[in-house]
Structure formats: C-alpha cells, structure tokens
C-alpha cells in the first residue's frame, strides 16, 4: 500500500518548485551563520528554535502540534502542502493524516521506505538541513535555517497560529516585520 501522508515528488516537480523557492525567497543556502538565507518579501515572524532541540527529538506531541498548525492553516479545500529538503527528496505532505494504515516509516519516523528505496523525510526542526513546509500556492510557509536554528513563518493564518503555540513549541520570537 502507498504512503498517503508523504508522496515523493518527481525530479521535474521538485525542480519546478525549487525554482520558485529560489526566485520567490532569493534562497541562498549556506553552511555557516553568515549572511541572509531567505529574503521574504512580505510580513514574517522570525523565531529562535534552539531551545526546542531536545523536545523536538523526544516528545511526539511537539511534532503533532506543528502538524496541527499546518492543518489549521490550510485554506478550505486544500489538504496538502509541499515539504522540501534542500539537496534531498521532496514531498507532498498531508498533515490531516495522523496514523498510517501500514507502517512505512522507520522506528524514528524520519525514513520512508518505498519499493526498496529509502527517503529521508523533512523534519519540523532544522537538524542540519534546510526544511521548507509551504502551501502549494506559496501563500504561507515555514522555512528553516539549520545553522542559526531559526524558523521563518510567513502568511496568515500560519503566523497567527504560531504566535499562539510558540511557547508550547519552545520557540522564541526574535522579530516580526
């Protein structure tokens, strides 16, 4: 049975989405903390998530909280968002699915096994990778910076919901513009 929560994007789909990410956000990934990684041409909140490292890895409710935030942020009729990992596989992600009918994920919930291939799933916490969770129409998004341990949240209602849940997630608001 196919995984319904995570659908692997084709190489062409991924290239098209990443082209838009590079263009829309002037995305300039780095392997250091110097320089801006994203230029977001709209209002966004910037969070420090360095205090969330332990809870993100040890408390399933932390991930469920973010999953629910994404679900609440979807426009009526939308069910899925893009889940991107820079230089790795990209996915269509359905935050409404809580439990898979089969267990396609490894014990640590970070690996998707599909036809003998292994795909690493994006995580909500930037653990050394750039992860981007974004509405399919790019109206809102959750962009991570793994070196600074920052999360950029843009677009309503995502910003509004994150502000309510940020203390539960152990995110500290750095700035809002």
- Percent of the chain at pLDDT > 90 equals 49
Which residue matches tokens 């898979």? Answer: 100
Q: Does residue 168 fall inside a structural domain?
A: yes
Instruction: Please write the tens of the pLDDT for every residue from 56-74.
Output: 878 888 888 999 999 999 9
Among residues 102, 144, 105, the alpha carbon closest in space to that of 123 is found at 144
Q: Does residue 25 fall inside a structural domain?
A: yes
Domain count, the chain: 1
Q: Does residue 87 fall inside a structural domain?
A: yes
The pTM is what? Answer: 0.87
Q: Does residue 1 fall inside a structural domain?
A: no
Instruction: Please write the tens of the pLDDT for every residue from 119-132.
Output: 778 889 888 889 99
What pLDDT does 71 receive?
Answer: 93
Q: Does residue 93 fall inside a structural domain?
A: yes
Which residue matches tokens 């205090």? Answer: 51
| Exposure class string for 82-112: b at 16+ Cβ within 10 A, else e | bbbbbeebbbbbbbebeeeeeebbeeeeeeb
Separation CA 152–CA 47 (nearest Å): 6
What pLDDT does 107 receive?
Answer: 35
Residue range of the domain that includes 80: 6-176
Q: Does residue 71 fall inside a structural domain?
A: yes
Regions of the chain where pLDDT drops below 70: 1-3, 32-33, 35, 99-118
What pLDDT does 121 receive?
Answer: 80
């Amino acid at each position: 049975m196919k995984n319904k929560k995570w659908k692997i994007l084709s190489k062409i789909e991924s290239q098209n989405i990443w082209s838009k990410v590079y263009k829309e956000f002037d995305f300039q990934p780095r392997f250091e903390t110097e320089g801006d990684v994203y230029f977001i041409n709209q209002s966004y909140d910037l969070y420090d998530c360095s205090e969330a490292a332990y809870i993100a890895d040890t408390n399933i409710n932390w991930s469920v909280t973010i999953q629910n935030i994404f679900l609440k942020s979807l426009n009526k009729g939308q069910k899925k968002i893009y889940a991107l990992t820079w230089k790795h596989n990209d996915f269509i992600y359905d935050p409404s699915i809580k439990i898979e009918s089969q267990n396609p994920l490894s014990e640590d919930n970070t690996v998707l096994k599909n036809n003998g291939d292994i795909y690493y799933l994006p995580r909500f916490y930037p653990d050394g990778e750039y992860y981007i969770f974004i509405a399919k129409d790019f109206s809102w998004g959750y962009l991570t910076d793994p070196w600074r341990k920052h999360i950029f949240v843009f677009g309503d209602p995502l910003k509004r919901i994150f502000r309510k849940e940020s203390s539960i997630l152990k995110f500290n608001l750095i700035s809002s513009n």
